[in-house]
Amino acid sequence: MTNKIREIEGWQIEEREKDTTNPLCTITKAAVRNPRSGDTRIYSRFSFGDWVNIVAVTLKKEIVLVRQFRFGSEKMEWEVPGGCIEAGESPLTSGVRELEEETGYIGKSQLIGSIAPNPGIQDNTLYTVLTENAEKKGRLNFDAMEDIETRLVSYKEIIQMLQDGEIRHSFTYTALMLWTLKRGIFTLG
């Protein structure tokens, strides 16, 4: 059997084959040829669904954080609310749903950015939604494995939490950076 080869700016990539599947992702592998050196190596790609996180700011200008157990770190982690985008959902719709399900907060929402979480090995996108004038008027609806604590913090407190290492989740850092850019607190150039 001959492997199909795709080429992206000189990089030759053999047809991928499924390596492993689990409920969170599919792992595929493929041989990739470097156009400069001619070397070929086997690379793995983790195919997750797309994700969304939400920076929710209350009428009192407090930021809504959640604290929940994370298996990867085996710790309770402070972070902004977020989750998986369900099939057929837009990132904005998903963000609004996740915020209400995890915290009970609702407000005026808009999409403020997206990133590639780890383009070296992943093929998904992480979207960030900003919800302003957030109020606790919705209904909690935790997933079976969620047990979430909610906390409201000021901008000054969130900076302190970042400096003290209380917030460690890189997606939360990204969301907060996008929010500060949106607010004009931090500008490029």
Residues 133 and 42 in one domain: no
Residues 43 and 72 in one domain: no
Percent of the chain with pLDDT over 90: 74
Domain count, the chain: 2
- Predicted pLDDT at 9: 76
Residue range(s) defining the domain that contains residue 17: 5-48
Residue 44 domain-assigned (yes or no): yes
Q: Check: CB of residue 112 under 8 Å from CB of residue 126.
A: no
Residues 32 and 121 in one domain: no
Q: What are phi and psi of 61, to 5 degrees?
A: 65, 30
- Predicted pLDDT at 1: 43
Give CA–CA dist 90/92, Å, rounded.
5
Q: Residue 19 corresponds to which amino acid? A: D
Q: How far is CA 128 from each of CA 46, 117, 173, rounded to the nearest angstrom?
A: 21, 12, 11
Give CA–CA dist 51/127, Å, rounded.
6
103, containing H or E segment? helix 91-103
Residue 174 domain-assigned (yes or no): yes
Which among 80, 53, 58, 52 is positioned nearest to 132, based on CA atoms?
A: 58
Give CA–CA dist 76/42, Å, rounded.
35
Residue 188 domain-assigned (yes or no): no
Residue 189 domain-assigned (yes or no): no
- Predicted pLDDT at 183: 83
- Predicted pLDDT at 12: 75
pTM: 0.88
Residues 103 and 144 in one domain: yes
Give CA–CA dist 129/90, Å, rounded.
11
What DSSP designation does 181 have? H
Per-residue pLDDT of the chain (189 residues; tens, 9 = 90+): 456 777 777 777 777 777 677 788 999 899 999 999 999 999 999 999 999 999 999 999 999 999 999 988 889 999 999 999 999 999 999 999 999 999 999 999 999 999 999 999 999 999 999 999 999 999 999 988 889 999 999 999 999 999 999 999 999 999 999 999 888 776 555
Residues 60 and 42 in one domain: no
Residues 10 and 87 in one domain: no
Residues 55 and 38 in one domain: no
Residues 9 and 72 in one domain: no
Residues 142 and 58 in one domain: yes
Residues 40 and 58 in one domain: no
